[in-house]
Amino acid sequence: MADIYLTPDDINASDTRLVLAFLNTVQTADELATRVEIPDELDIGVRLGQRILDARQELGGRFTNLQQLLNVPLIGSERFTEVVTEALQRSALEILSRNQQAADSGQVLALASQLESLKKWANEFEHLNPNRYRIEIKALDKTPYLGEVIPLRVRVWDRVTRQPKANLPLTLETNWGNLRWTKGLQVKQGAVITGRTSVTGEIVCHLYTPTIEQLTEPQQNELSLALAKLTHGSNVPNEARESFQQLVLAYQHPLNTDLRKAIDIHYKSRQDRVAESINLPSSVYRWDYEQALVRVYAHPQDPVEASTVLSMSAYTLEYRDWLSPWYQIYKEGLVTGQALQNDLNQALTYSEDEKGVVGHMVSSLHTFIAGQHGLLGERIGQQASQEILTRFLRDNPQNLSDSTRTSIYTVLTQAPGAITASNKGSVGIANEIALDVGRSTGLQDMLGNINFDQLTADIAGFNSNIAGFNSSYANFVNDYSSFNNNYSTFNTNYATFNNNYSSFNTNYATFNNNYASFNNDYASFASNYASFNSNYADFNSNYANFSNNYTNFDNNYGNWQTDYGNFQDGLSNFNTAKDQLISNVTNGVNQALSTIEANVRGSTGTSVVISPIENVNVGRNINRPGRG
């Protein structure tokens, strides 16, 4: 006998198909009774099996649902449960447990589906919420030097999903400088650029200092490396004087062409402020800044709403103007130096004639200015030589004749501004100036004072210096090649690190989500498990009560069977005695009536007919119950 009774509603669809297949394929009542045979139990007998087959035949030869089986006469909940458990080869408790798990899973899936629908609805509802997206803008250095390229990392977060927002259209603009964004072979550059976030919700672009002409990549790289060597964190430029002086030497070096051109371009872009400032010396004692404001706008992914702004973020940077103090320190170094001063002093010893003195001085000025290299160096050389020459003329009036002093004052006070590195040369300049002041000679005077022995020795020394320079230059080329290799390796490693870091962030975010889901699922499991334990305890209690009641029922049923047998025996004896009594009474009455009839007929001629007493049964015959 089953411990738990099942109903058609307790059987899931897959189990229902198995039970119906069992019922629809069985051929005979004996087969059905044999297959649903439970020892010591009142189960499906042959008669009840035949009832099931007859009901199947009435339904067109097939059961289509389990309620049809339950509707068969004498198939109650107990026998229905026995058919199902035997067909599935599982206990009723297992069937209920599996169905409950399936129901729980279905509920979980339904809840998950509802949750996804709610999320989708909330996502659509929040799509145009200006507070939905959070835009982060970060720079490697918020106070860089003018001319440095600043990487800007823009990241967009979705406050609803708490995840980076991928493939979101962005517009980036700056009020100062140029933005540049590269993606594969695509390059976008300008004060306003557009792009889309990556899978990590990011866009990495670079902010370049504005210049009147664009720097080449080698020029920008050389400038960035040179600026990186400047002292950072100084309160005033004067505290970084030593690093500024090192930058002067780097600019003057003949081989640093790219660095020199890069600085010259920045100088051309700001020369009015740098070279023509009235209060230029004060720039050494304070920092001047250029302000840059970067704005980022997030737009919907729908092209129809491309002009809608979902969210906006702004970021400010302050660029330190190093060019003005560096210009002043460069100029101070030239003015306080003795090279040009010594050349001017030596010019006084070459000739008593003003044409020779002027020629040598102009040659010295040309050599001094041309030796600075570059556009900015030339301008600084002109200004410095002007101050040096003015000081020289002021300090040496006694060493010059009146006519020489007049020529010098007339010509040389204007010469520094006209002399450039690309002018003809000291000899040509000397002759032109000499002719301008009314002289016909000058070259011969200058040549007459040349010491050719000394000149030969100087040339030999110069050749020696050239050889040393070539050796140093070869070493420099080797060192520079090694530096380029190391720098390339560094860039590769840095790119690998960025990729790994981005992957780590993505994986960590996924882990956090999975961990949160696990905690929620575990909490639901713990709650369901507690409910199951409680229900199982109730089931055990009910099962114990049922077992006790079933034991009492078995005992009472045995007593009833005994009493019922005794009753059947007594009823049989009673029917036998009744039949005998009726026979005796009928025979006696008929015999008496025959006698009376004979006597009556003899006297009156009238016959009397009395019908025999009919057989009377007491109660209905109750058969003893059996299988089926």
DSSP letters along 294-338, please?
A: EEEEE--SSGGGTT--SEEEEEEEEEE--HHHHHHHHHHHHHH-S
Find the range with the poorest average confidence among 213-222, 455-464, 565-574.
455-464
Q: How confident is the model at residue 616 (pLDDT cuts 50, 70, 90)?
A: very low
* AA letter at 514: N
pLDDT number for residue 174 = 96
pLDDT number for residue 608 = 53
Q: Are 329 and 284 in contact (CB under 8 A)?
A: yes
Residue 485 reports pLDDT greater than 70: yes
pLDDT number for residue 418 = 60
Residue 624 reports pLDDT greater than 90: no
Q: Which of 382-386, 432-436, 439-443, 561-565 has the highest mean pLDDT?
A: 382-386
Nearest to 280 by CA among 318, 221, 324, 239: 324
Nearest to 583 by CA among 540, 615, 628: 615
List, for residues 263-272, the tens digit of each pLDDT value.
Answer: 999 999 888 7
Distance CA 136, CA 559 (A): 88
SS3 content of the chain, % helix, strand, coil (to 5): 60, 10, 25
How many CB atoms lie under 10 A from the CB of residue 543?
14
Q: DSSP 3-state assignment of 193?
A: strand
Higher pLDDT, 144 or 553: 144
319 bridge partner residues: 290
pLDDT number for residue 477 = 66
pLDDT number for residue 547 = 67
HEC per residue, 22-52: HHHHCCCHHHHHHHCCCCCCCCCCHHHHHHH
pLDDT number for residue 621 = 43
Q: Are 226 and 247 in contact (CB under 8 A)?
A: yes
Distance CA 20, CA 516 (A): 44
Residue with tokens 């002043």: 328
Give me the mean pLDDT over the 293-300 stretch. Answer: 94
Task: Using a pLDDT cut of 70, give the percent of the chain over it.
Answer: 75
| Residue 276 Cα distances to 8, 291, 539, angstroms | 100, 22, 99
| Residue 289 Cα distances to 8, 53, 151, 370, 580, angstroms | 84, 100, 19, 32, 139
* AA letter at 538: D
Greatest alpha-carbon pair distance for the chain in Å reads: 216
Q: How confident is the model at residue 218 (pLDDT cuts 50, 70, 90)?
A: very high
* AA letter at 427: V
507: Cβ contacts below 8 Å, ≥ 6 apart = none
Residue 241 reports pLDDT greater than 70: yes
138 bridge partner residues: 153
Per-chain mean pLDDT for the chain: 78
pLDDT number for residue 440 = 37
List, for residues 309-326, the tens digit of each pLDDT value.
Answer: 989 999 999 999 999 899
pLDDT number for residue 65 = 92
Domains annotated for the chain, with CATH where assigned, are 8-125 (no CATH), 133-328 (2.60.40.10), 337-450 (no CATH)
Residue 417 reports pLDDT greater than 70: no
Give me the mean pLDDT over the 6-19 stretch. Answer: 87
DSSP 186: E
Q: How confident is the model at residue 141 (pLDDT cuts 50, 70, 90)?
A: confident
- Paired tokens of 180: 């540049």
Residue 279 reports pLDDT greater than 60: no
pLDDT number for residue 248 = 93
